[in-house]
Structure 1
């Protein structure tokens, strides 16, 4: 499948059935046990990123691009901490939901810009670029170009997450595809960490911090890289 076809599949999914499903997962409402586990795993990833950025003691006024912002799970708390955040997502519905969640928060919405935009068309320069839980939707032969583009936007730092490719997790993915059935599963690609690190290196970035986030149904490798 071509890059354009992959993006169309992702965009259509998150503007239709995927939007309703993931809005519930990323919200506070009642969900099933699997969805709750995924919600908790995603929140751990968000919390880890916020912990890293908070530890640097320079969040107020920091310019951040949240590429693949979804419903604003990361963008909103970063703006609450004082960062100036540009959040984008391929899904118009996701961006609309993010705006709805932020618009009535005093002093927050002024620090946020949300736009429905393909990652490849993002422009500008930001101190920090963050891309969480996006690469899982794209195969290995497409991520080098995506990460390289994100690197070009980052003045200092790029933080991204991906589903690590290991034998154990590959087997778990195969089992997971059987339940709750094809109609409710989404395409999920795993990536080798050494490939991600090489892409960073090829673009003049060096890994600084790493973390592994895992629950029963959510696995994410989180890497922070800075310009060499």
Structure 2
């Protein structure tokens, strides 16, 4: 499977069976133990990002691109905090769900806008660009291009999370087993932290804060990089 095929599979997956599965995981309804574990892990990553941004004390009016926003798990609380948020996702269904969730909280007028598009077609300039749990869909040879593009959109900061590639985690499970349920229709790529840091440095960014979230079925390395 080449990179273009990967993207097509991801789009189709999250517009079909994947949408229902991940909508439940990122929601509040009852799920199985594996999905609940992933929900908790993902929420820990979201909470850490929010804590970082709130600690800076300048969220009100801050322009933020939430690249790969899913159902709005991060976009919505950022909007609640007063940030000007642009959320995008490759899945039309995910974006529609995010819009409905935001509308239920804010009404038709709010500080969040959503669009269905892939990361490569994102444009504009934002103070902060955030991309959580999306690199898992990009092989290493395409990850550099994608991160470079996100860096070009960021005036000051990029925040990324990714599944770390370590000897221990590689031995623990096959990459595809990061996805819950019997139907694993997308590939899941792990990345070496040193490679991600090198890509950020090449694009003029230096690491400011970092965090690791690890549950039984969710592993995510979180990096905040500031433009030098």
Do they superpose with TM above 0.5?
A: yes
Superposition deviation, residue 188 in structure 1 = 1.1
Query: Higher mean Cα deviation, 115-124 or 165-174?
Result: 165-174
1:77 maps to what in 2?
77
2:111 maps to what in 1?
111
TM-score (normalised: structure 2) = 0.95
Gaps of 5+ in 1: none
Write the distance in 1 (CA, Å) between the matches of 2:170 and 2:150: 27
Partner SS for 1:110: coil
Q: Summarize the alignment of residues 47-62 of structure 1 with structure 2, pairs less than 5 Å apart.
A: 47-62=47-62
Write the distance in 1 (CA, Å) between the matches of 2:155 and 2:49: 18
Q: CA RMSD in A?
A: 1.8
1:207 maps to what in 2?
207
1:87 maps to what in 2?
87
1:159 maps to what in 2?
159
Superposed CA offset, 1:31-60 (max 9, x none):
000000000000000000000000000000
Superposition deviation, residue 182 in structure 1 = 5.2
With over 3 angstroms needed to count, the CA separation of the structure-2 counterparts of 1:226 and 1:183, relative to structure 1, is same
Instruction: Answer yes or no: is the 8 Å Cα contact 2:25–2:35 preserved in 1.
Output: yes
With over 3 angstroms needed to count, the CA separation of the structure-2 counterparts of 1:71 and 1:179, relative to structure 1, is closer
Q: Summarize the alignment of residues 210-225 of structure 1 with structure 2, pairs less than 5 Å apart.
A: 210-225=210-225
Superposed CA offset, 1:70-94 (max 9, x none):
0000000000000000000000000
With over 3 angstroms needed to count, the CA separation of the structure-2 counterparts of 1:13 and 1:159, relative to structure 1, is same
Write the distance in 1 (CA, Å) between the matches of 2:226 and 2:78: 19
2:22 maps to what in 1?
22
Write the distance in 2 (CA, Å) between the matches of 1:80 and 1:213: 24
Superposed CA offset, 1:144-176 (max 9, x none):
000000000000000000000011111222297
Instruction: Answer yes or no: is the 8 Å Cα contact 1:99–1:114 preserved in 2.
Output: yes
With over 3 angstroms needed to count, the CA separation of the structure-2 counterparts of 1:99 and 1:191, relative to structure 1, is same
TM-score (normalised: structure 1) = 0.95
Instruction: Answer yes or no: is the 8 Å Cα contact 1:41–1:219 preserved in 2.
Output: yes
Superposition deviation, residue 179 in structure 1 = 9.4
Tell me whether 1:68 sits opposite 2:72 in the alignment. no
Instruction: Answer yes or no: is the 8 Å Cα contact 1:62–1:83 preserved in 2.
Output: yes
Query: Higher mean Cα deviation, 96-105 or 173-182?
Result: 173-182
With over 3 angstroms needed to count, the CA separation of the structure-2 counterparts of 1:108 and 1:78, relative to structure 1, is farther
Superposition deviation, residue 109 in structure 1 = 4.7
